[in-house]
Amino acid sequence: MRREIPLAITVFVGFLLIISVFFPPVETLGEDFSLSFDIIAVFAFFLGGGNLIRIHLKKLARRETDWMFSIVTLGGFILMLTAGLLKIGNPGDIATSVNTEGMLFESIYRSVFVPLGATMYALLAFFVASASYRAFRAKNREATILLVAAFIILMGSTPLGAMATSWMPESLSIFEIPNLAVWIMSYANLAGQRAIIIGIGLGVVSMSLRLILGVERSYLGKEG
């Protein structure tokens, strides 16, 4: 029974949602699912949040390396919870969004969360550089193509591209870097994108059917 019931649930819900598309009286089942999912996710957070607290309390209790930082994490977590759930500094009533100016929650969000997120995001500028240094090497034909395409687009993004090929005669203007960059973006790039996207579509369909038919059952383990 421990295997059969979940399996039956997956098969039933899966087929129901596939079929619901074709039958107007049940066509909103997909939306209903999304709603249920959101609610399940809230309950699941007791497990996730509980896990977060447990890990850091354990670190503290055992004085593991960097246990001081666990205090910071726990403190931040509890601070945000209190500020948000009690709506500290709320200028309105209970219906007021927690992201209203004046609330403690909102001001922590603005002065801590936002700059930290933006900074982490901006790390990409550095990693884009280090990755291209290492990865764009003409090791084989595929890597060379990757390198050349990237290089042309990079050139095309700067005034260098226009300067480098401005000597070309009018008849060869398509081979001027800025034009070449445009051409790559609108033809070759698009072709690759489409192949990938169609492939993904087929992959998803196959994955879905395997899940629904019970060919893949990660959390149920092997048969028997």
Partner 1 sequence: MDHFGIWLAAFLTLGIYSFLYRDNAWYKLSESIFIGISAGYWVVILFWDNFYAKFWLQRQDDPMLWVGAALGFLMLLRLIPKIGWIARWPLAFIDGATAGLWGMNFLASNIMVQTKATIMPLMGPAFSGSIGDLLSNLVLVGGTFCGLIYFFFSKEHKGAFGNAARVGIWTIMITFGAMFGYTVMSRMSLLIGRIDFLFRDWLGLLK
Partner 2 sequence: MAVAIILGVLGIGLLWLFIGALKGREVDRRVIFVFILVAVAAPLLVNITFKFEPTPIVQAVFDEFESLPEGSTVLFSYDFDPAMAPEVQPMANVLTRHALERGHKIIFMCLFATGEGQFNVTDREVIQPEFPDRVNGVDWVNIGYKAGNEGVLNVIVTDFKKMFPTDVNGVPYDSIKIFDKIKSCKDLDLIVSIGGGRPGIKEWVLFVGDPGNVPIATGVAAVVAPQLYPYYPKQLIGLLGGVKGAAEYESHFKKVYPKYADMATPAIFMMGPQTIAHIVIMAFIVIGNLIFFLGRRKEGEEA
Partner 3 sequence: MSLSQRKSFSVFPAIQFIIIIALTFVLSVNSFAQEATDDTTSVTSVIIAPPTNLLVEDFEYDDGEKLNLIWTPSIDDQPQVGKVTGYQVFRVTNDDVTTKIAELMPGANNFTDQELDKDSTYSYYVTAIANGAEASSVTTSPISPQREWVNFGLTNLFVIALIIGGAIFYFIEMGKRGKKLFVRKIAGLEAVDDAIGRATEMGRPILYIPGIHDMDDVQTLASLTILGRVAEQIADYDIKIRMPVARSLVMTAARETIKASYQAAGRPDAYSDDMVSYITDEQFGYVAAVDGIMVREKPATVFLLGAFFAESLILAETGNHVGAIQIAGTARPAQLPFFIAACDFTLIGEELFAASAYLSNEPKALGALKGQDVGKIIAAAAIIAGVLLETVIQLTDSESAATLLGYLRQAFTT
Contact set with partner 3 (CB under 8 A): 18, 21-25, 27-28, 34, 37, 40-41, 44-49, 51-52, 55, 113, 116-117, 120-121, 123-124, 127-128, 130-132, 134-136, 146, 193, 196-211, 213, 215-222
Name the binder of 222 from partner 3, partner 2, partner 1, none, CB < 5-8 A by kind. partner 3
Our finding on whether 88 is near partner 1 (CB under 8 A) is no
Q: Output the smallest distance, CB 92 to partner 1, in A.
A: 13
Shortest Å distance, C-beta 37 to partner 2: 28
Cα–Cα dist 62/160, whole Å: 58
What is the rounded distance in angstroms from the CA atom of residue 181 to the CA atom of residue 193? 16
Round to whole Å and give the CA distance between 105 and 97.
10
With CB cut-offs between 5 and 8 Å by kind, which of partner 1, partner 3, partner 2, none does residue 175 bind? none
What phi and psi values does residue 208 have, to the nearest 5 degrees? -60, -45
Question: 45-64: which residues touch partner 1 (CB under 8 A)?
Answer: 45-47, 49, 52
Which of 89, 109, 164, 168 lies at the binding interface for partner 1 (CB under 8 A)?
109
CA angle 7, 8, 11 (to 5 degrees): 85
Q: Which tokens hold the place of 222?
A: 């092997």
User: What is the Cα–Cα distance from 208 to 129, expressed in whole angstroms?
Assistant: 38
